[in-house]
Chains A and B, each alone.
Chain A
Amino acid sequence: MQFEPLPREAKRTHPATAILGLGSVGFAALMAVATPGGGVGLELFLALFGLRQIAQWYFRTYELRPDDLVIREGIITRREQIVPYNRVQQVDIHRGLLAQVLGLSELRIETAGSAAGRVQLRLLDQATAASIRSLVLSRRAPGENVGRMPRAEDADSPPWARPAPEATPILAVPAARLALAGATATLPVFSACAAAGVVACFAPVALLSSTVAPLALAGIAFGAVALVALMTGLSVFTTVLQYAGLTVSVSDGDLRVDYGALDKQHLSLPRRRVQQVSISDNPLRRALGIVDVTLHSAAAPGGEHASRLTVIAFPRAEVGPFLAFLMQDPEWHPPALQPRTRAAHRRAIVRRSALLCVPAVAAAIAFFPEGVLSLAVAAGAGYAWGTVAHRRAGHAITDAITVFAAGALSHRVHVVPRRRVQSARTTASPFQRRAGLATSWLDIAGSRAPHLYDIAAATAADVRTYIPRTRSERTTDPAPSARGY
């Protein structure tokens, strides 16, 4: 890709940014010409709306200074926003269909905290957007790579004039695996379960009664299969289209994720900005060996990809090496999970059985006395569900990270670096207290707090008092019971 030398003075975004305004004004003019003598209300509204859009584009400028980006905007109330490069969390380039046709890009720069720190440069030409991204990403916190911080004497060869660091691809997801991920997404799996349920309920009725022909059963079964096929096809189609050409690459410590056919996304996140990694799957995906890997940054949640970046259809076998890369330690391997206690197993079964017993009790009352069997079915299903959930749940704590894993149908593993934990909490309901259990929460910037239900109360207390502190601080107030890790 071509990199342009970036201007030092304040610049506007590409004029095409105001395309909506121009279109609106043009349409108003066309209407005024085409229908002379008609009402002017709509034309006036369209024209004013268009002029406002154009003025907004005209009065909005960006300036790339050595250490920060300055945005000035506003027609009447002027606003000046300064974004220091070393506080940038995430830089994304988005190219919609129109932008692709016109050779343009939309650039979004995220800082930590509220959405007010988000800068969107809508529609820059492609080369400029790429140059700005590489400029912003090339700036690190002071001291981290001093050699690349811009200085006055550096003006002869600014970073963007040097060859951009090569991006090394580390993972490419083929379309076939995307299709598998699409087929095992929530929508097709849920519709398959619903269809199977309907057929299962209807089958005994159809088979026992002589009046309803087996033909009706065949019709229902065919309808169910067709519905599932349709949902699966839809999910596969949208997934493949949305994530076409999904690749993960590394460039100078930054993670790049590129994908999309009609809507191209080029997301980048500096490795040192990763706040949390979560790995999720469901039983079907587990059988196929694929997971979703989500990287969370401290950017404010909201917006399309703000604060997280998901790689779908990630091969399970690659997760370990990928985490080792994020940890910057090739020798690193995922720690073994500590199982929850027997009391947690009991609670997992009781909670799920209680949930399933609500419809079962209704069925038992409605179809007394045969319906009582449904209670046994609910209890059995609750036992199986709870046991699977219990087997897949657990935690692991090392000096560097905390791992929380839970969930049977939708399984999720949170990997939280210890130095990202802002504070820690435990909560305990009366039921949990009676069983000697608690819920452990870790508060991190930018996303919801990862948590683990029904961890032993003593372990939860250790996690709370040990994890948020740094090693040096620990010596001032040791948590002796935490030594066991």
Chain B
Amino acid sequence: MDATAVVLDGREHSLDPRVRILWALNSALVGLAAGAAGAIVCAVLGGPAWLTALSATAGVVFAAIGVLSAGALWRRWRWRALDDALELRHGLVVVRESLVPYRRIQQIDVERGPIERMLDLSTLVLRTAAATTDARLPGIPAEHAAGLREVLLARAGIDDAV
């Protein structure tokens, strides 16, 4: 897949399917760790047994919801690189759509967490002068991230954009 072709075609893309593993692992780790931490604290401080059980169950349920929803989340994720703007659409319960014109881009970060490095994925974060802009593009194969970033940066604005 050539990153330049991706940017200019204006077609809808979904994320790399491996991002499901990333999200599932992320929520599983967070949920189980939080549940275990709660249970251990409860046990050490001598809380009632039902509270320990509740804490552990809550962690497991959270992890399970995260793991089970990863696939649906991935199916809902769409992004599109138009001629002049990047369009995102994602969200399971609350559906979020956003449009970021390239000329407003101030900075593009490429983020790679430990699990992302394992899966060979990157997250592209487009930043504008507004702090509230929503333009995170997760699940970009690592080999395309740099190229995509270059192509987007080439279209970024040259004035102070404020």
Contacts and interface: CB of A to CB of B under 8 A. Distances in A.
A423 B94 contact: no
Contact of B128 (A422, A427, A441, A473): A422
Interface in A408-429: 422-429
Given A112-B129, A425-B134, A444-B130, A464 B97 contact: yes
Given A468-B104, A469-B101, A433 B95 contact: yes
Contacts of A179: none
A328 B80 CA distance: 37
A449 B131 CA distance: 9
B97 A298 contact: no
Contact of B132 (A89, A113, A449, A470): A449
A275 B131 CA distance: 14
A430 interface: yes
B2 interface: no
B133 interface: yes
A349 B81 CA distance: 39
Given A112-B162, A429-B93, A429-B94, A422 B83 contact: no
A89 B85 CA distance: 27
B94 A113 contact: no
B95 A473 contact: no
A29 B162 CA distance: 52
Interface string B66-98: 000000000000000011110100010111111
Interface in A450-485: 461, 464-465, 468-470, 473, 476-477
Contact of B84 (A433, A445, A469): A469
Nearest to B95: A428
B96 A445 contact: no
Contacts of B100: 422-423, 468
A298 B162 CA distance: 7
A401 B129 CA distance: 19
By secondary structure, the B interface counts as: loop
A43 to B, nearest CB: 45
Contacts of A473: 83-85, 101, 103
B97 A423 contact: no
A426 B133 contact: no
Q: How large is the interface on B (under 10, 10 to 19, 20 to 34, 35 or more residues)?
A: 20 to 34
B108 to A, nearest CB: 14
A476 B134 CA distance: 23
Contact of A443 (B82, B95, B103, B132): B132
Interface string B5-43: 000001000000000000000000000000000000000
B135 interface: yes
B119 to A, nearest CB: 28
Contact of B133 (A422, A433, A465): A422
Nearest to B96: A427
Contacts of A87: 160
Contacts of B104: 422-423, 468
A443 B132 CA distance: 6
Contacts of A476: 83-84
B3 interface: no
A8 interface: no
Contacts of B83: 473, 476-477
Interface in A99-146: 112-113, 141
Contacts of A477: 10, 82-85
Contacts of B99: 423-425, 464-465, 468
Interface in A34-93: 87, 89
A448 interface: yes
A204 to B, nearest CB: 44
B93 to A, nearest CB: 6
Interface of B: 10, 82-85, 87, 91, 93-101, 103-104, 128-130, 132-135, 160-162
18 contacts: A423-B101, A423-B133, A426-B96, A426-B97, A429-B93, A430-B93, A443-B130, A445-B128, A445-B129, A445-B130, A449-B130, A464-B97, A468-B99, A469-B85, A473-B83, A473-B101, A476-B83, A477-B83
